[in-house]
Amino acid sequence: MNNTRIPLLLLSPMAGFTDASFRLMCLKGGADYCISEMISAKALVYKDKKTADLAFLPVGDKPTAIQLFGHEPDTMAAAAEMIERGSFLGCRYEERPVAIDINMGCPVKKISLSGDGSALMKDPELCKRIVFAMKSRVDLPVTVKIRAGWDKKSKNAVEVALACVEGGADGIAVHARTREELYNPGIDMDIIARVRDAVPSHIPVIGNGDIKDGESAERMLKETGCDGIMIGREALGNPWIFKEIKATLCKESYTSPTPEERIAAAISLVSAVVAMKGEDKGIREARGRSAHFIRGLRGSAEIRAKLNSTTSLDEFKAILTNWDRNE
Ligand SMILES: Cc1cc2nc3c(=O)[nH]c(=O)nc-3n(C[C@H](O)[C@H](O)[C@H](O)COP(=O)(O)O)c2cc1C
């Protein structure tokens, strides 16, 4: 085990969102650590070409961990080894990943019905075997991201966390909802506190769920004793949230981005995605994502509609640049 310390404010892994271009924005916005979108261990081992793109880490994309999903210890370990060595087909590492994270929380049926993601929480012994298999094959830290449990009758986050620690896990992130709850209702802070109490103090426990601003971040740190916070949905149109939270924690002032800065960020995200994935794919993929940045601005609904029928980057930029917000 090495001594890598997981820092305080992390960007949550989000499939379809936390690609390299968005991670770079969040790192600029004050994130201490990012996690990639989830990547199929099996697809990596079977040398699927598209999977390599998900694992791309460009210059400046650090510290970033790669998240894997799967349920077979040998496959997970083989994929971890390929990531550590950078030996998978189409590998384009400009930065090295700093850890490998295991997805034990994804609630999506296609994933959990295959025994992956949140389904792992039904079998703490298997969780331990997966972590152990990966730790036996790589030197990189191995972390896990779990939920409160499968459903309200089996809130076994503590048991799963301890099993992972026995397997050698170097960090535990807890999304404080069960699989059954998906993303509603509100989170159960107590489950994070109980994991923090149960796990040896040198292993960082990261709290996750519904952090929207400095105040909610401060409350989570205080009420759970967790070592760090992971932010997901709020960061989607607000990659500056990490600076905002740091300012609150340090009792410093914080100035929110202006509408112009938000519009510039939307352009910058789409341009970066187009540069990485090509115009056709990039525009289709990123126009919905860029809409998060302009949410709430006057006239944003009409602008969104215009952006939705755009297929060229120049047109996309022109719509946003010529947006008369006094109309
Ligand atoms: C669109 C979307 C995609 C997600 N993809 C992943 C994923 O790939 N891996 C994962 O561990 N969690 C994933 N999550 C869960 C988030 O990482 C996070 O745990 C959850 O959104 C709660 O945090 P939040 O309230 O800050 O958003 C996803 C969530 C959303 C909304």
Could you state, in chain order, the average pLDDT of each consecutive group of 10 residues for the chain (327 residues)?
58 97 97 97 92 93 98 98 93 95 97 97 98 98 98 97 98 98 95 98 97 96 96 97 95 95 96 94 91 93 93 94 82
Helices (H), the chain: 20-28, 41-45, 49-54, 73-85, 109-112, 124-137, 157-167, 189-198, 214-224, 241-249, 259-277, 279-294, 300-308, 313-321
pTM as predicted: 0.95
pLDDT value for 247: 94
SS3 210: coil
CA angle 62, 148, 250 (to 5 degrees): 50
Kindly give the number of the ligand 1 atom that is closest to the alpha carbon of 233.
27
For ligand 1, whether the C-beta of 177 sits within 6 Å is: no
List the chain domain ranges: 9-249, 259-321
φ, ψ for residue 107, nearest 5 deg: -90, -10
Q: Which fold has domain 9-249?
A: TIM Barrel (3.20.20)
Tokens 């699927």, located at residue: 48
Q: Whose CA is nearest to atom 19 of ligand 1?
A: 175
Atom of ligand 1 nearest to the CA of 230: 26
Are 102 and 143 in contact by the 8 Å Cβ rule? The answer is yes
Question: Is the CB of 106 inside a 6 Å radius of any atom of ligand 1?
Answer: yes
Q: What residues act catalytically?
A: 106
Domains 9-249 and 259-321 fall in the same CATH topology: no
**pLDDT for 1:** 35
Close Cβ partners of 109 (under 8 Å, ≥ 6 residues apart) = none
Alpha-carbon distances, residue 212 vs 19, 196, 215 (angstroms) = 21, 22, 8
Which class in CATH covers the domain with range 259-321?
Answer: mainly alpha
- Determine if ligand 1 sits within 6 Å of the CB of residue 208: yes
Q: Of ligand 1's atoms, which has the minimum distance to the CA of residue 104?
A: 11
Contact of 7 with 32, CB cutoff 8 Å? yes
119: nearest Cα among 133, 132, 134, 104 = 104
CB 230 within 8 A of CB 12: yes
Q: Is 216 in the pocket of ligand 1 (CB under 6 A)?
A: no
Q: Whose CA is nearest to atom 4 of ligand 1?
A: 14
| Cα separations in angstroms, 233 against 50, 61, 115, 167 | 25, 20, 25, 30
